[in-house]
Amino acid sequence: AGPAGPAGLPTRARVAVRPSGTEPKVKLYLEVVSPGPLPPAEVAAVR
């Protein structure tokens, strides 16, 4: 099992931090993968 997102749903997340190649700043890249859409009954239970 991995980290949990809202309502305890499992998620996979990746964060990449890198310097800009041409400017004096840092770039932040985020990627989150969720298991997919929930059935309507589960959506109602989460709310």
Q: What is the pLDDT of residues 5-38, one digit of tens each?
A: 555 655 678 889 999 889 999 999 988 777 777 7
Identify the pLDDT of residue 8: 60
Q: Which residue has the higher pLDDT, 24 or 45?
A: 24
| pLDDT band at residue 39 using 50, 70 and 90 as cut-offs | confident
Residue 42, helix vs strand vs coil: helix
Q: What is the pLDDT of residue 1?
A: 47
In 3-state terms, what secondary structure has residue 47? Answer: coil
31: three-class secondary structure by DSSP: strand
- The dihedral over CA atoms of 30, 35, 37, 43, expressed in degrees to the nearest 10, equals -100
The pLDDT of residue 31 is: 84
